[in-house]
Amino acid sequence: MWSYAFKRAGTTAVTLLAASVIIFAFIHVVPGDPIYVLLGDTATPDQIDALRHQLGLDQPIILQYLTWTGHVLEGDLGRSIFFQAPVLSVIADGAETSILLATMTMVWVAIIGVPIGMIAAVRHGTWLDQGLSGGAMLMASIPTFWVGLYLILIFAAWLGWFPSSGYPSIFEGGLANLRYLVLPSLALAAPNAALILRLTRASMLDVSREDYVRTARAKGIRPWQVVRRHIWRNALLAVVSAFGFTFAALLSEAVVTETVFALPGIGRLVVQSILRRDYPVIQGVILVIVVVYLLVNLIVDLSYRLLDPRVELQ
């Protein structure tokens, strides 16, 4: 298992290098320029050229890439043009929100998606299964921003139970600040729980058709024990894998929810930085996201072995 982990780490490093080249190239291929956004409407060409020179944006792309890579290897992701702060601290600030939001969402997804998926699978073909699957389809189809706006309207503006938007750090206001993430995590959980529900159901139905399940039933084992010992555990592999990727995706792709709830998360940071062409931030964030994806991928692969001893890691 350790040699497998080392091998995978090596592949990860190569992937990372390739990703860094692609990130850098793509960002600089896109037309537009941070200087125009920074100086605004009335800047003269002289002012634009002077500031571009000051920020080193007039150097050849290769040179800019090598300088950036050099700094990254030293642990320095550069300095944001717009926030006037180190990219690492900007990302760290956004990461707190994104990690907590993704975690809370996954808790909702696990609480709602998995048990209901199991019930639907066990009651396969009944009106209960039809109802639950139909409900899941509905949840998956409603756009997140719509759910978000209605959650704000009902639970913040009308009932006043939760704050409407924003998120002050838990390091400043304590765990009570997690209440700011309740509505956004519910909005994000709706479509994701629906997907996990359907996946749990489908995966359990697949496993329940296996020979060993039939044998277990023929042996007279109680139905719920068959489900718990033989079906659920084996169906879990696919669900865990989906959990890993959903979590990684939530870290970086919750941009719509973050915008609706004015959350200072990673998704909003990256979109905003793209619109303003804040190159150091875009490069830094995408690099960190790639690292997270690769790590999650690695952890998921390694966890297969723990969940299912039959899996061999080579």
Cβ-based nearer residue to other proteins, 3 or 44: 44
Burial code (b: 16+ CB inside 10 Å, e: under 16) for 36-57 equals eebbeeeeeeeeeeebbeebeb
Q: Are 172 and 220 in contact (CB under 8 A)?
A: no
Q: Which stretch binds other proteins (CB under 8 A): 69-77, 152-160, 235-243, 283-291?
A: 152-160
Q: Which stretch binds other proteins (CB under 8 A): 5-13, 105-113, 219-227, 274-282?
A: 274-282
Cβ-based nearer residue to other proteins, 163 or 244: 163
Long-range contacts of 221-230 (CB under 8 A, 24+ apart): 227/118, 227/122
Q: Which stretch binds other proteins (CB under 8 A): 99-107, 203-211, 220-228, 254-262?
A: 254-262
Q: Are 103 and 51 in contact (CB under 8 A)?
A: no
- Running DSSP on this structure, what letter comes out for residue 16? H
Q: Which of residues 172-201 bind other proteins (CB under 8 A)?
A: none
Q: State the binding string over 50-89 for other proteins (x if CB under 8 A, else -).
A: xx--xx------------------------x-xxxx----
Q: Which stretch binds other proteins (CB under 8 A): 14-22, 60-68, 263-271, 293-301?
A: 263-271
Spatial CB neighbours of 65, under 8 Å, sequence gap ≥ 6? 21, 24
**Shortest CB 227 distance to other proteins, Å:** 43
- Running DSSP on this structure, what letter comes out for residue 82? T
Chain positions contacting other proteins, by CB under 8 A: 30-34, 36-45, 47-48, 50-51, 54-55, 80, 82-85, 90, 93-94, 145, 149, 152-153, 156-157, 160, 163-168, 259-262, 264-265, 268-269, 272, 275-277
